[in-house]
């Protein structure tokens, strides 16, 4: 539950960062929403595959789940950075210098 909240909060930051693309904003936001819904369903499933209940009700491999979450966050940050570079490159190519009058 805690890890899902962390990952869900990252979506807000990612959406705010990448929703500055004016063209096709509606389609972009629809795709973002779909990815959020899919990942929201995959998170507990994958966590359930990693974490197990040991003797006496002790949770096993919970530390492994933490490492997976941290790794996923680093991958997300890297992907957001790469997308940011592509958007900057695209914007620079589309900028036309207006002659001053």
The per-residue pLDDT for 35 is 86
C-alpha span between 97 and 46 (Å, rounded)? 50
DSSP 20-31: T--TTHHHHHHH
- Tens-level pLDDT at each residue, the chain (101 residues): 455 555 555 555 555 555 555 667 777 788 888 988 998 899 899 999 999 999 999 999 999 999 999 999 999 899 989 988 988 888 777 765 566 66
pTM greater than the 0.95 cutoff:
no
H-type alpha helices, the chain: 2-18, 25-50, 62-94
């Amino acid at each position: 539950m805690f890890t899902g909240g962390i990952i869900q909060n990252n979506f807000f930051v990612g959406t705010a960062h990448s929703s500055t693309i004016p063209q096709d904003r509606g389609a972009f936001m629809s795709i973002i929403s779909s990815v959020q819904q899919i990942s929201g369903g995959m998170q507990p499933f994958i966590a359930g595959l990693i974490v197990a209940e040991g003797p006496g009700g002790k949770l096993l491999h919970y530390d492994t789940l933490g490492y997976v979450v941290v790794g996923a966050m680093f991958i997300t940050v890297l992907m957001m950075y790469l997308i940011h570079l592509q958007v900057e490159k695209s914007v620079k190519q589309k900028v036309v210098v207006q002659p001053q009058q």
